[in-house]
Structure 1
Amino acid sequence: MASRDLVIGVIFLTQTVVGILGNFSLLYYYIFLSFTGCRLRPTDLIVKHLVAANSLSLLCKGVPQMMAAFGWNNFPGDFGCKLLFYLHRIGRGVSIGSTCLLSAFQAITISPQNARGTKLKRKALKYIDFSIFLCWTVYMLVNIICPIHVTGKRNNVSISMRKDLQYCSGTTNNKITQLLHAALLSFPDVLCLGIMVWASGHMVFILHRHRQRVQHIHSTNVSPRSSPESRATQSILVLVSTFVCFYSLSSICQVFMALFDNPSWLLVNVSALISGCFPTACPFVLMNCNSCVSRFYLPWLRNTTSTKVITNA
C-alpha cells in the first residue's frame, strides 16, 4: 500500500467517524428529549431528516472511499456500486433540500407579526411534513438515472469507456448526454440554492431592521442577550453559509470530474472529501450556533427542578 493511500484512508476514516458521531449525537438529543416530554419546535423535524440525510451520505461515500484507499477496491460489486451511488445522491440531495426548507421556514417564522404574516406562518407549519416527504420523493426519482452510469470494477465494460472512481467505475457517454443528465440532476439543487439565498437575504434584512429598532430603546431593563428567534436565525445563516461554501467547492470538483474521461487520483479523492465536509460539519454548526444541547436540556432541567421543589415543599 502506498503512503498516499494510507494517508487518504486515515483522512476518510476520521471524517466519516467524526461526522457519524456528530450526527448521531444530535439525533440522540432529539430522541432523548422526545421521551422526556419536552416540546420541540416544528422546524426540529426538518433537522432530524437533515441528520438522517447527512448520515446516509457519509456512510455511502466515506466508507467505500476509505476501504478503497486501504486496498479493498473490488468489494462492492456491480449492484453494490449502483446502490451506494444512488443512496449517496439521495442523501446529498435531501441534505440540500432540508437545509433549504430549514432556511425558508425560519425566514417565515421571523417575519413581522401582522395579520398576513401570522396567516402565512400557520399555513407553513401545516406543510412541514409534506415538504419533507416531497423532498425525499423528488431526489429519489431524479437520481434514478444515476446508477445507469456506474458499474463495478469487474464489470465487462470496455476500458476506453470506463472512468476510474476508485472503488467503482463510471461509464463515459457523449458530451450532449452528459450535459442533459447533469442539467436534470442539478436543477433541484439550483432551485434549493436560490430559495436559500432569498431566505438568507430576507432574514438578514429583518435582523438588521430589528437591531436598528432596539438601538433606540435606552433602558437598563433590556437584556443584552438576543432573542431566541435571533439566535436561531443566526445559526441558520451560519449553516447556510457553510453549505454554500462547501457546495460551491464540490460543484467545481464535479465539473472537472465530468470534463475529464480519466480524472486523476487526487481529483477523485479531493472531490469525495469535499462532498463529505458539509455532512460532517453540519451537526457541530447546529449544536454550537443554535446551542442545541443547552436549549434541549434547559426545559427538562427546569421541569425536574420544579418537580423537586414541589416534592420537597
Structure 2
Amino acid sequence: MISDGIALGLLFLFQTGFGALGNSFLLGLYTITFFTGPRLRPIDLLLCHLAFANDLVLLSKGIPQIMATLGLTNFLDDVGCKLVFYFHRVARDLSLCTTCLLSSFQAFTLSPRSSWWENFKARSPKYIVPLFLSCWTFNLLKNCLILLYMKGPKGSNNITGINDFIYCSATFHVSPYILLYILLFSLPDVLYVGIMVGTSGYIVFVLYRHHQRVQYLHGNSLKPNGFPEARATQTVLLLIILFVSFYCLNSILLLCIRYGKTFSWLVHSSAFLAACFPACSSFVLIVSDSQVQKYSLALWEKMMLQF
C-alpha cells in the first residue's frame, strides 16, 4: 500500500511536471517562432512572459514540496529557504501581474472603434516591454522582507510567532508595523484581481453584444457553443474563474497558516492550490488559442522538411 507521503509526492510530481511541460512548450514555441517563424502578435509577448513566470512558480514551489512530502525536511538551510521563498513569491506575483496585463490587453484589443481608449489601443503594444520591466522591479523590491523573515527548519524551534512550512519556517511577531506591511503587501494583489474581474466582464459584454449583432448571419444551423464569440467568451470566463478561485482559496489557507495553528495538510493544500493555475493555464491557452495551433503546425512542417 502506498504511504501518504509517497502519494502526495507523486501528486506534486505530476502537477509540477504536467504544468512545466505545458509552459515550457509555450515558451519554446514562442521563442522559436520569434526567430524563425511568422511575426508574433503583441499579445504573444504577454503569453510568453506568463509561461515563463508560471514555470518559475511551479519549479520554485513544486520541487521543494515534492522533497518535503518524501520526508526530506532538512535539505535547505536559512539561505536556501530565503531564496526559494523569495523567488517563488516574485514569480507568483509576476504571474498575477502578467495575467492582469493579458486581461487588460484583451479588453483594449476587443474594444469598439468608437471607444474612448481607441487612441491608447493603437499605442498599447509599445508599452508591453516597459510594463514587464516595471513588474519585475516592483515585485523584486516588494518581496525583499521575505529575506528577513524566512528561516531554515532547524534554527526556528521553540520561537513564538513561528509559521512552519515543513521544510522552512518564518517568524512573524504580531505588531502594528507587521500588520500595516501585510495590508500594503496585499493591496496590489487585490488591485490586480479587481482589474482582471472588471476587464474580463467587459470582454464578455463586448463579445455578447457582437454575438447578438451577427447572430442573424449564422442562422439556426450552429449550436450556441459553436459560435466563435461563445468559444472566446468561455475561454475568458474559464481563465478568470480558475485564477480567482485558486487565488482566493490559497489566500484563505495562507491566512490560516499565518495566524492559526499550522497543520501539514494545510501547508500541502496551500502549495497545491498555489500551483494549480500555473499548471492549468498553459493548456487552456494551447487548446483555445488558434494562433498557438498555427505556430505549432508551422514549426512541425519546418521540422518535417528538414528530414
The verdict on a shared fold, with TM-score over 0.5 as the criterion, is yes
Match of 1:295 in 2: 294
For the pair 1:46 / 2:67, whether they are aligned, the reply is no
Q: Is the 8 A contact 1:106 1:233 kept in 2?
A: no
CA distance in 1, matches of 2:87, 2:119: 37
Match of 1:110 in 2: 110
Unaligned runs of 5+ in 1: 308-313
Match of 2:267 in 1: 268
TM-score by length of 2: 0.89
Q: Is the 8 A contact 1:286 1:292 kept in 2?
A: no
Cα deviation 1:277-301 (Å, max 9, x = unaligned): 1111111111112245423245668
| Structure 1 residues 109 and 231: alpha-carbon distance in aligned structure 2, compared to 1, 3 A threshold | farther
| Structure 1 residues 53 and 240: alpha-carbon distance in aligned structure 2, compared to 1, 3 A threshold | same
Q: How many residues align?
A: 302
Match of 1:285 in 2: 284
| Structure 1 residues 35 and 125: alpha-carbon distance in aligned structure 2, compared to 1, 3 A threshold | closer
Identity among equivalent pairs (%): 43
CA distance in 1, matches of 2:300, 2:156: 61
Unaligned runs of 5+ in 2: none
For the pair 1:31 / 2:31, whether they are aligned, the reply is yes
CA distance in 1, matches of 2:82, 2:5: 24
Match of 1:77 in 2: 77
> Offset at 1:188?
1.1
| Structure 1 residues 142 and 66: alpha-carbon distance in aligned structure 2, compared to 1, 3 A threshold | same
Equivalent AA in structure 2 for residue 103 of structure 1: S
> Offset at 1:160?
3.3
Match of 2:252 in 1: 252
Q: Is the 8 A contact 1:231 1:290 kept in 2?
A: no
SS at match of 1:170: strand
Pairwise CA RMSD: 2.9
Match of 1:311 in 2: none
Q: Is the 8 A contact 1:97 1:192 kept in 2?
A: yes
Q: Which moved more, 1:65-74 or 1:291-300?
A: 291-300
Q: Is the 8 A contact 2:58 2:278 kept in 1?
A: yes
CA distance in 2, matches of 1:183, 1:115: 35
CA distance in 2, matches of 1:104, 1:60: 27
| Structure 1 residues 39 and 65: alpha-carbon distance in aligned structure 2, compared to 1, 3 A threshold | same
Equivalent AA in structure 2 for residue 72 of structure 1: L
Cα deviation 1:183-210 (Å, max 9, x = unaligned): 1221111111111111011111111110
Match of 2:55 in 1: 55
Match of 2:137 in 1: 137
Q: Is the 8 A contact 1:164 1:170 kept in 2?
A: yes
TM-score by length of 1: 0.87
| Structure 1 residues 266 and 295: alpha-carbon distance in aligned structure 2, compared to 1, 3 A threshold | same
Q: Is the 8 A contact 1:6 1:70 kept in 2?
A: yes
| Structure 1 residues 217 and 156: alpha-carbon distance in aligned structure 2, compared to 1, 3 A threshold | closer
Q: Is the 8 A contact 2:163 2:258 kept in 1?
A: no
